[in-house]
Amino acid sequence: MLPVFEKALTWWTFFKISINERLVYRGDFIIGTLMRFLPTLTQIFLWWAIYDAISTPGTADSATGPDQDIQGYRYGDMVAYYLMVTIARAFSSMPGLTSGIANQIRSGEIKKFLIQPVDMQACLLMQRIAHKLVYYLIAALPFALVFWLCGDFFIDGWPDGETLTVFFTSLILAFALGFYLECTIGLVGFWFLEVTSLTFIYMLMNFLLSGHMFPLELLPESPVNIRGIVEFLPFKYLAYFPAAVFLGKVQGAAMYWGLLTEAVWVLFFIVTSRVLWSRGVKRYSGFGG
Amino acid sequence: MGFPVGPRLLVHTSGIYTLEMPVIEIKNLVKTYRVYQKNEGLAASITGLFKRDYRSVEAVKNIDLAVEEGEFVAFLGPNGAGKTTTLKLLSGVINPDSGTCNVMGFTPWERRNEYRRRFALVMGQKNQLWWDLPAAESFRLNQHIYCVPADRFNSTKDELCDLLDVTRLLNQPVRELSLGERMKMELIAALLHQPDVLFLDEPTIGLDVVAQHKIQEFLKYYQQQRKTTILLTSHYMKDIEALCKRVVVIAGGEIYHDGSLDGIVDQFSGDKIVTLHLSDSSSINDLRNLPNVIKVEEPKIKFRVSRDHVGEVLAEIFKAHSVDDIVVEDPPLEEVISNVFSAAERQNYSSQNHSSDGAARV
């Protein structure tokens, strides 16, 4: 058989097995999905209080909500932003990937990827895609329910087809970026064995600089221009960028530039993780018996 | 010490001499680990943040070994002797500091796919199967990883499952299997691609006697059928007695003995164990005072005699006493091996004390 075909068959089997493995935990999944929206709910209430405090008295109860805007975000935009960020993060977040790789290095389980004629990153990628697909399948219903209930917050309605295309592309790239970025951090485990602190720093940066916590427009520009710096970091593509595209905060050429930059970051982390892998394996001395 | 390296004359059972290259050929292999040293206590932990002391441990120093096709070789040695390190080097998990190694024409640590499709490593303490899924799914995955054609895969799988009697367990999640059943599945997973070389690192560790025996029987049969070259490490003498004609004793990272199991007993045990069944109970009291009596259990007495003097001592006894039955045997293998290990470690210590640049041991 053709080697390429053989390889594809391996990935396909791996993919199917990962799906089966994932379905073992279906109960855990449904609860996890609903919990995902809880933090968003508290943020919606918090922003309600903020908008209410700065708005003209009395307008808060009107159909469109409070009449003030913050950095171009009306109250409805703010709620819609958080909902869209939840979507973006459903693609870009990779629970357990970094720690999983680091643990495998420390425990010596990584050996199987050295012994068997199979590529670790490809395996992990297949596994991740399978997990995500199962997740979307199960999460589709609760997601649809929440978005239907919150439909009114999308004040400007659905974006046009072009924006939607860019939006979906940015989601796919967000998945790839999240995957290779976390892979890279996990592979640092070849040098440090323990990457918990590194993971923690990454989580913190991700939380603040990806737009997960609040829209990046709210970041200060002085005395240090954090808003400007964030433009040069990969984090914003994990949450802010797809949401901003969907809500029309990024338009026209800027939209495509963003997409291109995102792709370059993906490429950067693919190459970095590859280099770390080949260097790390040489360094690896087979910890753990 | 060790077998001559390079092409050599091979005696086949048929008695025909042929010239062959060894399947595995190791020359001057050296692997040193750097181990972080930390003293006890908080102060030492804080110092450790800034300045770390490393000690190098020579896990494998200068190993030469040649293994012919179809040999079943046991690696024996105390914990930390370098057995597992050698297997790791052979399977390409780690790179050596120096030396060469050739397995079926490949250098293991280049990790070429062509090589990786032709060997397997089974570690008794590690599992490669998918924990939450039935073994059948892990097998299927291995089929594709190793590019095994479907018909060959099915027949191999059926045969192996049949031999190990696990067919009915194929569709049960691996986490629900017993340790013995899981080990059998691990073996099957490793053999599905019919490797030419198989490395087994303590495959029977933690198993009960029945499961151990079953796996021994299986390995023996499999090796005879397929003539796979197998390297095995184990701490169970029973495994080694049952399976391996050739035993390589490794201690302190060096090969200490390479030869047959009987050879070890001859070389390292100067004693025989004699058990006499006496017809007269009064004889027992006379013989009680013999040097090195192990056990007295009337009308039997068991004692240890140096090999050179067995005849002499027995002749004396026959003169004075009437004996119903007599057994002369080698000391238990465990005991012999433990002597070998201590001797090897003593030698290792003294050689280290002589060399000034040797790694400092704590």
Mean local confidence (pLDDT), B236-260: 88
Domain boundaries, chain B: 8-118+195-266, 270-329
| Residues near A196 by beta carbon (within 8 Å), at least 6 away in sequence | A99
In whole angstroms, give the CA distance from residue B134 to residue B172. Answer: 5
What is the overall mean pLDDT for chain B? 84
Q: Which tens digit of pLDDT belongs to each residue from B41-52? A: 788 777 777 777
| pLDDT for position B103 | 94
Return the closest-CA partner of residue A163 out of A39, A81, A249.
A249
pLDDT > 90 fraction of chain B, expressed in percent and rounded = 37
φ/ψ of residue B196, rounded to 5: -85, -25
Q: Which tens digit of pLDDT belongs to each residue from A46-58? A: 888 888 888 777 6
pLDDT grade, residue B20 (50/70/90)?
low
| pLDDT for position B81 | 84
Element (H, E) at B137: helix B135-145
- What's the complex ipTM? 0.76
Q: Which tens digit of pLDDT belongs to each residue from B129-139? A: 888 889 999 99
Is the preceding omega at residue A220 within 30 degrees of 0, hence cis?
Answer: no
Task: Please answer yes or no on whether A20 and B117 come within 8 Å at the CB atom.
Answer: no
Mean local confidence (pLDDT), B297-302: 85
Q: Which CATH superfamily is domain B8-118+195-266 in?
A: P-loop containing nucleotide triphosphate hydrolases (3.40.50.300)
Q: Is the pLDDT of residue B360 over 50?
A: no
Q: Is the pLDDT of residue B222 over 90?
A: yes
| pLDDT for position A87 | 92
List the single best residue of B30, B85, B88 to mutate versus A (max A Cβ within 10 A). Answer: B88
Listed as ranges, residues in chain A with pLDDT below 70 are: 1-2, 26-30, 58-67, 285-289
B140 neighbourhood in chain A, CB within 8 Å: 13, 17
Ranges A209-218, B238-247, B285-294: which has the least confidence: B285-294
Question: Does A14 contact B at CB distance below 8 Å?
Answer: yes
pLDDT grade, residue B216 (50/70/90)?
very high
Task: Please answer yes or no on whether B133 and A21 come within 8 Å at the CB atom.
Answer: yes
pTM for this entry: 0.81
In whole angstroms, give the CA distance from residue A20 to residue B132. Answer: 9
Asked whether B91 and B190 are in contact (CB, 8 A), the reply is no
Three-state SS across chain A?
CCHHHHHHHHHHHHHHHHHHHHHCCHHHHHHHHHHCHHHHHHHHHHHHHHHHHHCCCCHHHCCCCCCCCECCECHHHHHHHHHHHHHHHHHHCCCCHHHHHHHHHHHCCCHHHHHCCCCHHHHHHHHHHHHHHHHHHHHHHHHHHHHHHCHHHCCCCCCCHHHHHHHHHHHHHHHHHHHHHHHHHHHCHHHHCCCHHHHHHHHHHHHHHCCCCCCHHHCCCCCCCHHHHHCCCCHHHHCHHHHHHHCCCCCHHHHHHHHHHHHHHHHHHHHHHHHHHHHHHHHCCCCCC
Q: Tell me how far apart the terminal alpha carbons of chain B are, to the nearest angstrom.
A: 28
Q: Which of A13, A115, A118 sits opposite B93 (nearest CB)?
A: A115
What burial letters (b/e) apply to B27-54, b meaning 16+ CB within 10 Å?
bebbbbbeeeeeeeeeeeeeeeeeeeee
A21 neighbourhood in chain B, CB within 8 Å: 130, 132-133
A127 neighbourhood in chain B, CB within 8 Å: none
| pLDDT for position A26 | 67
pLDDT grade, residue B355 (50/70/90)?
very low
| pLDDT for position B13 | 44
Of B112 and A57, the one with more pLDDT: B112
Residue corresponding to tokens 């090999």: B307
B125 neighbourhood in chain A, CB within 8 Å: 289
- Does the domain formed by B270-329 have CATH 2.60.40.1180? no
Q: Is the pLDDT of residue B345 over 80?
A: no
| pLDDT for position B1 | 41
pLDDT grade, residue B10 (50/70/90)?
very low
